[in-house]
Structure 1
Amino acid sequence: MAAPRVEDALELLARASRLEEPFEELRALRLVVLALPSSALRERAPEFPLPGLFALMARGGSEQISLCVSILERFLQVMDPLYVIQNFGEELQKGLFHPDDSVKILTISQVGRIVEDPEAVREILNTPELLRQVIYSIAGEKIAVAKEAIKSLSRVAETPEGLEALLAGNLLVDLKNVMAKSDIIRYRVYELVIDISSVSADSLNYCVNSGLISDLIGELTGNDVLVRATCIEMVTSLAHTHHGRQYLAQQGIIDKISNIIIGADSDPFSGFYLPGFVKFFGNLAIVDSPQQICEQYPAFVDKVFSMAESHDPTMFGVAVDTLGILGSNVEGKLVLQKRGSRFQHVLNRIGHQAKNAPTELRVRCLDAISSLLYLLPDQHTEDLLGMTESWFSSLSSQPLELFRSISTQPFPDLHCGALKVFTAIANQPWAQRMMLASPGFVEYIVDRSVEPDKSSKEAKYELVKALANSKTIAEIFGNQHYLSLRAYLREGPYYVKAVSTTAVEGAE
């Protein structure tokens, strides 16, 4: 079969444009353009009469539309963005009014591509009606259309001119009009605003001056508990950036969130928003300073501990996740250690739930335990090693056997979670001595037959690697076990020992 040529595509496109029902031509054209190299299409792009394809897409049924979208997507992707907007701006604008969502997504994604080009973006900004229609696409029934619109508008705002046009001109009125359509659409616009705000301090200033950030904060600190729960996720995203945290602190918003946590005890509906508020501070602690956040907002730490002691599985789960985040670095570990016996009691609860809770919560417990117990080799001071050993002992009366029993269960998430706990402590001498003292434990580590799937084999390999690379392992485990670990490490995670079979004469 001859390789497809550009001439074949030109001929098929010309023929399809003349027919009422060009299904066969469009099917053949799609195969040809997908097979042609991008370089060949790009070189000959101006020769293709694409307006005919746009016209077919505008008046066809679902199969014809689908074929046209697929072909146009291929052509437009290889064309220069400036060429696309100069030659097909009108067609793109019409595409935003098309009843088929795939056409809208194609059009909006092209707008997103065009605004990334410094020359082409000026053409877009000089076509406010096109941007206006992208803004109204945020209200699209299909979430994929709305997501594509948000993504494209975020790209528009990455240029100073785009930022100005979107948030300081007439288009801001359109954004606010869209927000008024429904709660769901209002949150989509907030999502766009947070995306833009996160780019730089200048972007945030534009969003603040537009009044949209103030609207979001007003809803966050308002009385509607369901709205609070939605808004806190967006504010948490803003807090991931340094300039975002600065703004939230300077405006007293972090203090307001802390006060809402303090008042949550007397609010019967706090269960709706409290998990999100606690996660907000957990994220702050990890990107800022755990000690500073915990000292500045003690209500947050107290709430995490009371949630960890509660019998509400949702609250307990959030508390476990947050403790895992807090204790993921040494500063956070020391903050938790200051809680003394109360933290030891919480650890015992986490160990109990790792054994007895529903699977999803057990996995979260195992992840948090791994995070709390892990130390880098250069953190192996006497105090820190003593601390992690005492924490491990607080999890259960026989913690090593607890996690070993979990690691033998047939559920991959639990199996890998338990191996992850062993990996977290594998480079710590006290853990190595404990492993060696447990009958059959070292043999279990180097036994490949107990790992049934890819993720388990990889988790076991990480454990072997952590042990084999430890400076104390040869001395504690002894030469024979050390060599077994090195051999496992050398062979890789998926090694299968070859079994030789010898034929015996006369055997069946």
Structure 2
Amino acid sequence: MQEIINRINNLSLESNEEEVGELLNELKNSLIQNPDVSKSILNANFINSVENWIQLDNVTLMCQDILDISLSHFKIADSDSFGIIELLLKSSPPIQRIAIRKLQTDCLAISAFVPKSTVLLLIKCLNSEHVNIGPATIKLLVECLREDLLNDADIIHQLSPSLDTTKTEALCRIYEVCVRIGIKNFTSFEKVQFIIDKCVSNLTSGSDVLLQLNLLDILQSLCLRDYGLSYLENKNVLQNLSRKIEDINEDPLSGLLLPGLMKFFGGVASLYPQKIFQNYSSLFDLLFNCILEDHPSLIYSALDTLGYLSKSDECKKSLDNDFGHKFVQVVEHVYQNIPNYPNDVKVRALLCLEQVFAPDDYEEMINNQITSICEKWCIGLFGPSKDFSTLLNICKTPFDDLSTAAFKLVKSLAIYSFGQEGIAKTGGFVEYLMSRKSGSTLELKQKKYEVIEILARSSIFDATLIAQFRKYIREGINFVEPMSEVSLESS
């Protein structure tokens, strides 16, 4: 083994790729046969040698395999493991990626004792332009940046972004790390607040639209904690963003931000519906108008936002209380225009309506108030007779993504007695549900099966049909009806 390593270390940069490949293959086979030698090869000299060869197309995978195999025999908690990890993190991106992958496998287990020196190198990795390094480091740092490390001056200095020199991607990663640390608890939030302050300043005072769109997405997570929402309110972030929307006709840049602003306020409203709907009702009037006018550049994000802010029971109550008829008008418009939308918008519209009707929990008894609200919306979509014919036709479409989205909507309706009535009254709907010939993908079959499971508990259908539902359930999702054969006797 040592002889092979020495030969590899003595190779010059001009060495033949074939010779390098043969030596590396010998080393790989030796590692597989004798895992105990892994520690003897992972040192600075060998890693420098691998650094020379990993850029060569014909041996790149071999180099990666050797490092992966060697690291797989290490317990990351060993005292010398972090020294090896740090050697790898100081190397080229392909080698850094291997070190990060190893840390990811033991992320939760090692977070309590990752040394400061390793964390400093991980912070530097946030600046990497390689997609498998910079973004992957975010989760590692969120787990590894303990409160004691957040008190360290070197860590704070390394983490503090320089607005003049830090690239947009790296800046967003730093902010995301700090926000995700901040929502762990209030103590952690206080330690990174000065960096979050810079994030807020970039959002409210900056002119980089792409950066602001990313920051909207990052800062929304703060609202998962009451203290996070209070912080944003005290910094006048919500008021500032509200003004951007109100000035949309005067400031072209606000128009570019509008999809992100809708998503941001939709996300915050899903957590604090009563407060946000009442204090910023004009923003949601704008959202509704985007849908009613089928705004071509905003319809995608508008439908996503509408579904998101409708999905919880508390949101449903607030929407009914604060917007009443206007909301019914909006969801009715969405349903009626599904045939006219492009295919991808049709899918979004169906998924939006699924969330409008879906309860918080399909297994629990649904609140009478929620049932009453959703029935009112159902009548707005399907009329007093609850005719699901159009929905059935969408379920029958040959496009799997569209029919799957339609069945998700059917499931969200089927949980209510009024939805079960609509299915029962619509000619051919039950027969289509029970047909084993309909549904070409596993996901589609799964959704049909889930609908039938709900209907089997219904009191709307007669005993014969309930028995058929239960038989369907016993047979399972992938049951195939046997084909009857007719044999003809030759004369």
Same fold (TM over 0.5): yes
Tell me the secondary structure at the aligned position of residue 80 of structure 2.
helix
Q: Is the 8 A contact 1:190 1:216 kept in 2?
A: yes
> Where does residue 76 of structure 1 map in the other structure?
71
Q: Is the 8 A contact 2:424 2:430 kept in 1?
A: yes
Deviation at 1:309, TM superposition (A): 2.1
**Worse-superposed segment, 71-80 or 488-497:** 71-80
**Worse-superposed segment, 19-28 or 184-193:** 19-28
Taking structure 1 as reference, are residues 300 and 147 closer, same or farther at Cα in structure 2, changes over 3 Å only? Answer: same
Counterpart selection for 1:444 from 432, 446, 450: 432
User: Following the alignment from structure 2 to structure 1, what is the Cα–Cα distance between the partners of residues 406 and 390?
Assistant: 9
User: Following the alignment from structure 1 to structure 2, what is the Cα–Cα distance between the partners of residues 431 and 224?
Assistant: 49
* 2:275 is the alignment partner of 1:292: yes
Q: Is the 8 A contact 1:353 1:361 kept in 2?
A: no
User: Following the alignment from structure 2 to structure 1, what is the Cα–Cα distance between the partners of residues 379 and 160?
Assistant: 56
**Worse-superposed segment, 358-367 or 331-340:** 331-340
Counterpart selection for 2:327 from 324, 343, 355: 343
User: Following the alignment from structure 1 to structure 2, what is the Cα–Cα distance between the partners of residues 464 and 372?
Assistant: 21
Where do 1:325-344 residues align within 5 Å?
325-338=308-321, 339-344=323-328
Where do 1:221-232 residues align within 5 Å?
221-222=204-205, 224=207, 226=209, 227-232=211-216
Q: Is the 8 A contact 2:74 2:81 kept in 1?
A: no
Counterpart selection for 2:350 from 362, 366, 386: 366
> Where does residue 381 of structure 2 map in the other structure?
395
> Which residue identity lines up with residue 40 of structure 2 in the other structure?
F
Q: Is the 8 A contact 2:242 2:280 kept in 1?
A: yes
Q: Is the 8 A contact 1:363 1:413 kept in 2?
A: yes
Tell me the secondary structure at the aligned position of residue 81 of structure 1.
coil
Deviation at 1:406, TM superposition (A): 0.6
Deviation at 1:174, TM superposition (A): 6.5
Deviation at 1:232, TM superposition (A): 0.7
Q: Is the 8 A contact 2:93 2:130 kept in 1?
A: yes
Size of the alignment, in residue pairs?
473
Deviation at 1:466, TM superposition (A): 1.4
Counterpart selection for 2:302 from 286, 308, 319: 319
TM-score of the two chains, using structure 2 as the length reference: 0.85
Counterpart selection for 1:27 from 19, 25, 28: 25
User: Following the alignment from structure 1 to structure 2, what is the Cα–Cα distance between the partners of residues 390 and 97?
Assistant: 62
Q: CA RMSD in A?
A: 3.2
> Which residue identity lines up with residue 93 of structure 2 in the other structure?
D
Tell me the secondary structure at the aligned position of residue 257 of structure 1.
helix
Q: Is the 8 A contact 2:244 2:254 kept in 1?
A: no
Tell me the secondary structure at the aligned position of residue 247 of structure 2.
helix
Taking structure 1 as reference, are residues 399 and 142 closer, same or farther at Cα in structure 2, changes over 3 Å only? Answer: farther
> Which residue identity lines up with residue 233 of structure 2 in the other structure?
A
User: Following the alignment from structure 1 to structure 2, what is the Cα–Cα distance between the partners of residues 114 and 479?
Assistant: 54
User: Following the alignment from structure 1 to structure 2, what is the Cα–Cα distance between the partners of residues 440 and 46?
Assistant: 66
* 2:192 is the alignment partner of 1:207: yes
Deviation at 1:97, TM superposition (A): 4.5
User: C-alpha deviations, 1:298-357, integer Å up to 9, x for none?
Assistant: 233323222222331342333322222232233322222232332222122101232221
User: Following the alignment from structure 2 to structure 1, what is the Cα–Cα distance between the partners of residues 29 and 38?
Assistant: 20
User: C-alpha deviations, 1:112-149, integer Å up to 9, x for none?
Assistant: 6589537853xx32x4xx65444333222322221234
User: Following the alignment from structure 1 to structure 2, what is the Cα–Cα distance between the partners of residues 501 and 114?
Assistant: 59
> Where does residue 101 of structure 1 map in the other structure?
93
Where do 1:49-88 residues align within 5 Å?
49-51=41-43, 53-60=46-53, 62=56, 63-83=58-78, 86=80
Where do 1:243-258 residues align within 5 Å?
243-258=227-242
User: Following the alignment from structure 1 to structure 2, what is the Cα–Cα distance between the partners of residues 505 and 19?
Assistant: 82
Deviation at 1:422, TM superposition (A): 1.5
**Worse-superposed segment, 415-424 or 274-283:** 274-283
Deviation at 1:233, TM superposition (A): 0.9
User: Following the alignment from structure 1 to structure 2, what is the Cα–Cα distance between the partners of residues 140 and 329?
Assistant: 39
**Worse-superposed segment, 384-393 or 425-434:** 384-393
- Deviating above 4 A after TM superposition, structure 1's stretches of 4 or more consecutive aligned residues are 10-19, 91-94, 108-116, 130-133, 396-399, 502-505
> Where does residue 147 of structure 2 map in the other structure?
160
> Where does residue 7 of structure 1 map in the other structure?
none
Taking structure 1 as reference, are residues 221 and 446 closer, same or farther at Cα in structure 2, changes over 3 Å only? Answer: same
> Which residue identity lines up with residue 331 of structure 2 in the other structure?
L
User: Following the alignment from structure 2 to structure 1, what is the Cα–Cα distance between the partners of residues 457 and 187?
Assistant: 47
More helix by share: 1
Gapped runs of 5+ residues in structure 2?
12-18
Taking structure 1 as reference, are residues 359 and 18 closer, same or farther at Cα in structure 2, changes over 3 Å only? Answer: same
Taking structure 1 as reference, are residues 336 and 23 closer, same or farther at Cα in structure 2, changes over 3 Å only? Answer: same
Q: Is the 8 A contact 2:107 2:140 kept in 1?
A: no
Taking structure 1 as reference, are residues 294 and 266 closer, same or farther at Cα in structure 2, changes over 3 Å only? Answer: same
User: Following the alignment from structure 2 to structure 1, what is the Cα–Cα distance between the partners of residues 81 and 294?
Assistant: 64
Taking structure 1 as reference, are residues 179 and 396 closer, same or farther at Cα in structure 2, changes over 3 Å only? Answer: farther
Counterpart selection for 1:172 from 150, 157, 167: 157
Counterpart selection for 1:412 from 395, 400, 409: 400
User: Following the alignment from structure 2 to structure 1, what is the Cα–Cα distance between the partners of residues 135 and 93?
Assistant: 12
Q: Is the 8 A contact 1:178 1:185 kept in 2?
A: no
Q: Is the 8 A contact 1:407 1:416 kept in 2?
A: yes
Taking structure 1 as reference, are residues 148 and 329 closer, same or farther at Cα in structure 2, changes over 3 Å only? Answer: closer
Taking structure 1 as reference, are residues 119 and 460 closer, same or farther at Cα in structure 2, changes over 3 Å only? Answer: closer
> Where does residue 3 of structure 1 map in the other structure?
none
Deviation at 1:479, TM superposition (A): 1.8
Gapped runs of 5+ residues in structure 1?
1-9
User: C-alpha deviations, 1:264-308, integer Å up to 9, x for none?
Assistant: 354333221122222222222223x32232123323332322222
> Which residue identity lines up with residue 185 of structure 2 in the other structure?
S
Q: Is the 8 A contact 1:81 1:120 kept in 2?
A: no
* 2:144 is the alignment partner of 1:144: no
Taking structure 1 as reference, are residues 253 and 462 closer, same or farther at Cα in structure 2, changes over 3 Å only? Answer: same
User: Following the alignment from structure 1 to structure 2, what is the Cα–Cα distance between the partners of residues 412 and 118?
Assistant: 43
Q: Is the 8 A contact 1:207 1:213 kept in 2?
A: yes
Tell me the secondary structure at the aligned position of residue 169 of structure 1.
helix
> Which residue identity lines up with residue 86 of structure 1 in the other structure?
D
Deviation at 1:371, TM superposition (A): 1.7
**Worse-superposed segment, 309-318 or 363-372:** 309-318
> Which residue identity lines up with residue 490 of structure 1 in the other structure?
R
Taking structure 1 as reference, are residues 119 and 358 closer, same or farther at Cα in structure 2, changes over 3 Å only? Answer: closer
User: C-alpha deviations, 1:357-401, integer Å up to 9, x for none?
Assistant: 1112111111121222234562263x6444423322322567511
User: Following the alignment from structure 1 to structure 2, what is the Cα–Cα distance between the partners of residues 119 and 327?
Assistant: 39
> Where does residue 264 of structure 1 map in the other structure?
248
Counterpart selection for 1:466 from 441, 454, 458: 454
